Structure 1
Amino acid sequence: MDAIVFYAPHEIGLQSIPLPPMTPTSVRVATKLTSISAGTERMTLEGRLPGMPQLRYPLIPGYENVGEVIEVGADVDPAQFQVGDRVFLPGTVRYEGFFSVFGGQVSESVNDAKRPIKVPAGISNETALLLALGATAHHGIRDLVAPGTRPSILVLGQGIVGQLAARMLTQYGAEVTIADTIPFRVGLGEADHFIVVHQEMDIPSDSFDVVVEATGNVSCFDTAVRALKKRGHLRSLGFYEDIRFAFGPAFIKEIRLDIAGEWDAADLAATLRFLADHDAALHQLITHQLPARDPNRAYTVALRDPECLKIALTW
């Protein structure tokens, strides 16, 4: 099997490594597509990752893997998995001689049958790549729109998490405004109002019940506080090394700040339904496709091209 390997910060390669042996409770998956996380994989490639102060190399990155089951262990219930099933893997097992964050950038894998998530027939392989970040977005917005209300919500940042969060909030009945500094991303978005940000003052002050911070850029917290109404709610969907913002304005407005964490089974189920209902429309969010055999080019495009919203690597 082949794997994309980070040998050290800023050093990427493709290497052939042994496939772990099958067990009676495992399934073997041939990878069709993977994607690159602009947050976790970027930070890992740069040698830093919150919660893991001592990253160790060489490591295999990735947690967005869509593949096909090609072998099933003898003890796996046929109702759970059969050969030919399509699955999403939010990472794979550890491989001898390599560390893992989270091991998804591989051409093939052997996993305990509890790990893969079956992809329903109504979801394409490309759209299935959005499952983990879609569940992350859903976890961050699922409680923001109470029944019978229409809160005004600003989604800062139109990367994949921001794109999906805005679409879900619109579906749940919020009045949604999206904002980003990249016109291309704003143009792809779905919302009631659209802002291409050239300077901070392009975002109106004291205007929103809720701000969803989805840029992953800690400098946007002050912008979010300024945009909120009195006693507004700031929900963080990003992944940061630390958080800093001016306390005074937040104190005066009495804002509520909370941080969305890891998705759960309810988010996963809701996101699978959302992806199935919007499969065709979500295809446009996969803006680039490149072969996994050239990982240096793929990571350069994914992490440096501002018009690369989401990349699919073919295996």
Structure 2
Amino acid sequence: MLSIAVVEPGRVEAVDIPIPSPGPYEALVKTEAAYICNATDRKLVAGHFPGIDRDRYPLLLGHESVGVVSEVGAKVRSFTRGDRVIGGLLLKPTSTAYSSGWGGNSEYVIAVDHAAMAADGVADEAHGWVEVAQVMKKVPTDIPVEAAGLLCTWREVYAGFGDFQLKKGMDILVFGAGPVGLSFCRMARALGLRWIGAVDPLPKKREKAVALGADEAFEPDAPALTGLVQRRGAPLDAVIDAVGSERIINAGLPLIRMAGSVCVYGVVGSPTITVAKDRGPYNFNLFVHQWPTRTAEADAQDPLVEWIRAGSLRYQDFLTAEFPVREAARAMRATEAPDAIKTLLRF
């Protein structure tokens, strides 16, 4: 079968490996489409994802896939043939030539039946369970495949609202208008937050943020941003760093109220973060969300599906390019375009 590999940092190729065989609690999923993750996948391609050393290359790429179940193991109860499923991976590559960079950009992937394993008392590593199994879930057939694939991103962002303690009526500012930042803008509006601002250096991204729910969008370091609290007459409840940057963390501190929050979403590249605490109020919260809270991520799917059905959350607002999977190297380069949001690989 076809799989997308980073054969060495900076080089992406389509490779051929054997089709995996599902275990008793596993379903074999034939991939329909997969999205490139602008953060994780690009860091893996560049060779500087935290915790992934150079000796792990070559590795199989991807973790935002959607496909149809073609075969199920004997003890699977949550999936049947023909179901559309998201979150399938290839954590155990079928070729010893490769390690796993989650391996979701493969023609066939494996979805683990977490519910069945938990019910049978075998949801542990000794029986092949992995924590990400909690978000390998069936998607209703009326949800377009493009929207189903985006649920991999949207569920994580929706869960972030709980981790960051963001509530209706709050005022927030989102730094970064990429897929995550734009998702925060759209969902914050749908969840009833009062005022939403966005910050991005690119005019088109700022325009998109406003179109998706932001009240205002700012260029970094612009007077309108640095004077925001004075102009509004009140500080913000929270600043969201949707980039993962020490500079943004410290830029957000003067903007938040007493006991407000700076919320960091995504993997921070540096092993340390220096916080200039004197720039903020005496009391403030610093939330760092580098890995999904799986139970919250799984619970996010049902409300998101209802938003998709209602037209409140549209894949067309996020999908900016798509490529045949064999052109994954070209697709990866396309993610670097200034106006790129989400790039789809079609199988």
TM-score, normalized by length of structure 1? 0.89
Tell me what 1:292 maps to.
Answer: 325
For 2:283 and 2:170, the matched residues in 1 are separated by 18
For 1:100 and 1:202, the matched residues in 2 are separated by 45
Specify the SS of the correspondent of 2:300. Answer: helix
**Could you say what the CA RMSD is over the residues aligned between the two structures, in angstroms?**
2.2
Tell me what 2:238 maps to.
Answer: 210
Specify the SS of the correspondent of 1:35. Answer: strand
Q: Give the Å deviation of 1:205.
A: 4.2
For 2:171 and 2:321, the matched residues in 1 are separated by 32
* 1:311 and 2:333 are equivalent in the alignment: no
Q: Give the Å deviation of 1:294.
A: 1.0
For 1:55 and 1:224, the matched residues in 2 are separated by 37
- Cα distance change on mapping 1:11 and 1:120 into 2, 3 Å: same
Q: Percent identity?
A: 24
Tell me what 1:197 maps to.
Answer: 219
Specify the SS of the correspondent of 2:177. Answer: coil
Spell out the pairing of 1:1-315 with structure 2 (5 A cutoff).
Answer: 1-53=1-53, 56-77=56-77, 80-95=78-93, 96-97=95-96, 98-114=98-114, 115=133, 116-142=136-162, 144-146=165-167, 150-175=169-194, 176-189=196-209, 190-197=212-219, 199-203=221-225, 204-206=227-229, 207-242=235-270, 243-245=272-274, 247-250=276-279, 252-260=281-289, 261-279=291-309, 280=311, 281-283=313-315, 284-302=317-335, 304-315=336-347
- Cα distance change on mapping 1:233 and 1:75 into 2, 3 Å: closer
Specify the SS of the correspondent of 1:266. Answer: helix
Query: Which string of whole-angstrom CA distances, capped at 9 and with x for unpartnered residues, describes residues 285-305 of structure 1?
Result: 111111111121010002x11
- Which residue identity lines up with residue 85 of structure 1 in the other structure? D
Query: Which string of whole-angstrom CA distances, capped at 9 and with x for unpartnered residues, describes residues 41-79 of structure 1?
Result: 1111111112334551110011101001112233323xx
- Which residue identity lines up with residue 208 of structure 1 in the other structure? L
Kept in 1, the 8 Å contact 2:65–2:105? The answer is yes
Kept in 1, the 8 Å contact 2:21–2:28? The answer is no
For 2:149 and 2:344, the matched residues in 1 are separated by 8
For 1:193 and 1:39, the matched residues in 2 are separated by 26
For 1:5 and 1:211, the matched residues in 2 are separated by 36
Kept in 2, the 8 Å contact 1:136–1:262? The answer is yes
Specify the SS of the correspondent of 1:173. Answer: coil
Query: Which string of whole-angstrom CA distances, capped at 9 and with x for unpartnered residues, describes residues 15-42 of structure 1?
Result: 1111122444332211100011111111
- Which residue identity lines up with residue 304 of structure 2 in the other structure? F
- Cα distance change on mapping 1:53 and 1:230 into 2, 3 Å: farther
Count how many residue pairs are aligned between Structure 1 and Structure 2: 310
Instruction: Please list every run of 5 or more consecutive structure 1 residues that lacks an aligned counterpart in the other structure.
Output: none
- Cα distance change on mapping 1:169 and 1:55 into 2, 3 Å: farther
- Which residue identity lines up with residue 255 of structure 1 in the other structure? F
For 2:34 and 2:223, the matched residues in 1 are separated by 38
- Cα distance change on mapping 1:57 and 1:169 into 2, 3 Å: same
Q: Give the Å deviation of 1:171.
A: 2.3
- Which residue identity lines up with residue 117 of structure 1 in the other structure? K
Specify the SS of the correspondent of 2:71. Answer: strand
Kept in 1, the 8 Å contact 2:199–2:220? The answer is no
- Which residue identity lines up with residue 286 of structure 1 in the other structure? L
- Cα distance change on mapping 1:2 and 1:225 into 2, 3 Å: same
For 1:231 and 1:150, the matched residues in 2 are separated by 16
Q: Give the Å deviation of 1:212.
A: 1.0
For 1:222 and 1:200, the matched residues in 2 are separated by 16
For 1:55 and 1:154, the matched residues in 2 are separated by 40
- Cα distance change on mapping 1:138 and 1:90 into 2, 3 Å: farther
For 2:103 and 2:343, the matched residues in 1 are separated by 17
Specify the SS of the correspondent of 1:239. Answer: coil
**Mean CA deviation greater in 259-268 or 150-159:** 259-268
- Cα distance change on mapping 1:26 and 1:198 into 2, 3 Å: closer
Kept in 1, the 8 Å contact 2:89–2:102? The answer is yes
Instruction: Please list every run of 5 or more consecutive structure 2 residues that lacks an aligned counterpart in the other structure.
Output: 115-132, 230-234
Query: Which string of whole-angstrom CA distances, capped at 9 and with x for unpartnered residues, describes residues 154-188 of structure 1?
Result: 11112111122222222222122222222222322
TM-score, normalized by length of structure 2? 0.82
Specify the SS of the correspondent of 1:288. Answer: strand
- Which residue identity lines up with residue 332 of structure 2 in the other structure? Y
Kept in 1, the 8 Å contact 2:246–2:275? The answer is no
